[in-house]
Amino acid sequence: MSDARTHDKVTGLILAGGQGRRMGGVDKGLQDFRGRRLVDHVYERLAPQVGGIIINANQNHDAYKTFGVRVVSDAIGNFAGPLAGLHAGLSISRRPYLASVPCDSPFLPSDLIERLLARLMESKAVLAVAKTGDQPHPVFCLVRRSVLEHLTHFLKGGGRKIDAWYGSLEVVEVNFDDHAEAFSNINTREELANFETESAQEGTPVESGTPIAPAAAAMIDSIVRPPGGSLAQVISCIDDYDPNALKVDKAREVIRSLLVPVATNEKLAVRAALGRVLGEDIISTLDVPAHDNSAMDGYALRHADLKSAGETELHLAGSAFAGRKFDGKLKKGECVRVMTGAVMPPGTDTVVIQEIVQAEGDKIRIPAGQKQGQNRRLAGEDLAAGKPVLQAGRLVGPAELGLIASLGSAEVMVRRRPRVAFFSTGDELASVGSVLKEGEVYDSNRYTLYGMLSRLGCDIIDMGVVRDDPASLERALKAAADDADAIITSGGVSVGEADFIRELLGKLGEVVFWKIAMKPGRPMAFGKIGRAHFFGLPGNPVAVMVTFYQFVRDALLALSGRTGELSLPLLEVPCTAGIKKSPGRTEFQRGILARDDQGEWSVAPTGAQGSGVLRSMAEANCFIVLAHERGSIRPGDRVQVQLFDGLV
Ligand code: AMP
Ligand code: MG
């Protein structure tokens, strides 16, 4: 998956401005394909690769506006072809690069932008284009924004043919033979129908060694395999991968590589966006502050009027307050009384604070030593018109709400919340409110999960308790996969229990069972079922919370579209007690961080640390994180802690 820095540089342009002639004059992007519109497939594949999306369409704008992104028509001609679309997109795009893809290419490669950009950046070319064999795919291209002028000129001169335009540019071709069929676009009704039926193969595991027809290979490549690559592929790239003793960091790495963030946006009133993730960059439409203004109560003057040495006497010409400006014209040797926030009177450049001047009637004596420009806030100092204020992927907190409001916006575009379905498994589980029978325990994990998921801002689907039987589990997993972006289960992944679940998950998706080198939380399953990310957490209540906070939390934040650092900070403090530990696994002890009599912070482990003792989580206010290689801790040794406070 492309990293946040790469992706922020590129705007994606979906070209949906054609007439669909070979399909009988329909709007191709809106044609149904596998239960959704063609453009939905393209959007979903492109969005995680770029910082923002623009759609070029020449009809049915409302239908394309469902993504909440900008939709633009060609500025020239009538249906003048892809170059006109590229021109329209480039004219309004603000990122340094723009990548175009057609709306009828539902299999476009998930590493398209990353690879085009890497090659373009290392060359002097202005345009990178995908190629398979000898065949370039001109509408799958990445251009530098600076090419707009050249393109405008070309179009003004009557040029319309994309090949001719390419011929006049420095172009670099990027080989995608490993995705040979991913560039197939769908031009006719027949092609649409063919791809539709072939897609029935989705989800059917393909045994290794079975020859695959080229078209089917494209399907497997681009649909069955999630954008980050298949789980098997990801795993094969990781050094010392051992599912029976997997290090915590490796597990995080695998999870991260397989995540496909939610890409759809919705528009909300500003206050309702609190806690949500920005769906697009916010560009300032105005200068904040709008005018140069005074930062202090005092006197605004022209610095050039001050003597170079000694005191200067100025004449008071009037006054200005916040919201009421000075209307007169300032003559040489005059000053204006100003209050904080008042617009700087025309011609003045400096404010002298009232405390240091001597005022007698309208004679104002200014002491020596004033610096030009002091105590003046410049227009646009906080936010400058046309400049990005906040990037897509940012969490909207109180400061962001204020910033958005300071631009005068009443609404803001945010990502849809990730939908998370969860259920507990186990024949021994009783629901709260019922009387416990022998051998039963109350299902507490679903409540812990409810709490953690709600705090994280997910849309939650609580599916209750599912019995340990294959048919019920299959039904529940299928229903969850249809509806949710992520599925979380607790229980049933330990060695004794896992066999039939393993078989079932293998049938429904691509899932691995891990024994993670950690305590608590050793057994865990992870993978994908259909389009949903699957986390099979252990059953023990503490292990549920530890695995959630160590793996699922970051994953769901990434899924929600957040960019930047997502993992919890680690702080180092002395530990008041000794802790026995052998090297070879990461331990997450529950600790209480407190200040001692001298005011120094230190941490003490809570009492019982058993993975069933949920009380330890309630008593604790932090995890004590003991790294993989570490041995026993002596009292006074420094350890790392992760605070629960602020943990969403
Ligand atoms: P399992 O991973 O299914 O073998 O469960 C491990 C332990 O956690 C067993 O003692 C279970 O009874 C307990 N457990 C499993 N699920 C839950 C739950 N939802 N609530 C409370 N305890 C559970
Ligand atoms: Mg169980």
For 512-547, how does the pLDDT look when each residue is reduced to its tens digit (9 = 90+)? 999 999 999 889 999 999 989 999 999 999 999 999
* Contact yes or no for 16/55 (Cβ under 8 A): yes
How does residue 365 score in pLDDT terms, banded at 50, 70 and 90?
very high
For 330-346, how does the pLDDT look when each residue is reduced to its tens digit (9 = 90+)? 999 999 999 999 999 99
Mutate-to-test residue for ligand 1 from 432, 434, 445, 452, highest number of ligand atoms within 8 A of CB: 445
Q: Which residues surround the ion ligand 2 when the cut-off is CB under 5 Å?
A: 426, 491-492, 539
**pLDDT for the residue 211:** 30
* Contact yes or no for 571/546 (Cβ under 8 A): no
* Contact yes or no for 12/52 (Cβ under 8 A): yes
- In the chain, what percentage of residues exceed pLDDT 90? 68
Say yes or no to pLDDT of 570 above 70.
Answer: yes
Q: Tokens in use for 169?
A: 């540019």
Mutate-to-test residue for ligand 1 from 422, 427, 429, highest number of ligand atoms within 8 A of CB: 429
Query: Of 210 and 354, which is predicted with more confidence?
Result: 354
Q: How far is the centre of ligand 1, averaged over its atoms, from the C-alpha of 52 (Å)?
A: 43
Partners of 337 in beta bridges: 299, 319
**pLDDT for the residue 3:** 55
Q: How far is the centre of ligand 2, averaged over its atoms, from the C-alpha of 498 (Å)?
A: 9
Mention every residue, 6+ apart, whose C-beta is less than 8 A from residue 423.
446, 462, 463, 464, 465, 466, 476, 480, 489
Say yes or no to pLDDT of 202 above 60.
Answer: no
For 264-288, how does the pLDDT look when each residue is reduced to its tens digit (9 = 90+)? 899 999 999 999 999 999 999 899 8
How does residue 215 score in pLDDT terms, banded at 50, 70 and 90?
very low
**pLDDT for the residue 552:** 98
**pLDDT for the residue 210:** 29
Nearest alpha carbon to residue 412 among 279, 562, 284, 286: 279
How does residue 5 score in pLDDT terms, banded at 50, 70 and 90?
low
Question: What is the atom index within ligand 1 of the atom nearest the CA of 468?
Answer: 3
**pLDDT for the residue 187:** 80
Ligand 1 neighbour 494 (Cβ under 6 A): yes
Query: What would the mean pLDDT of 176-186 be, rounded to a whole number?
Result: 82
**pLDDT for the residue 500:** 80
Say yes or no to pLDDT of 648 above 60.
Answer: no
Nearest CA to ligand 1 atom 10: 540
Ligand 1 neighbour 444 (Cβ under 6 A): yes
Alpha helices in 50-142 (DSSP H): 61-64, 82-92, 112-122
How does residue 200 score in pLDDT terms, banded at 50, 70 and 90?
very low
**pLDDT for the residue 4:** 55
Nearest alpha carbon to residue 467 among 447, 440, 485: 440
For 386-413, how does the pLDDT look when each residue is reduced to its tens digit (9 = 90+)? 888 999 999 999 999 999 999 999 999 9
Q: How far is the centre of ligand 2, averaged over its atoms, from the C-alpha of 494 (Å)?
A: 8
Query: What would the mean pLDDT of 436-443 be, rounded to a whole number?
Result: 95
Work out the mean pLDDT of the chain and round it to a whole number.
Answer: 89
For 107-118, how does the pLDDT look when each residue is reduced to its tens digit (9 = 90+)? 898 889 999 999
Supply angle C-alpha 198, 203, 209, rounded to 5.
Answer: 80
**pLDDT for the residue 456:** 93
Distance of alpha carbon 580 from the chain centroid: 40
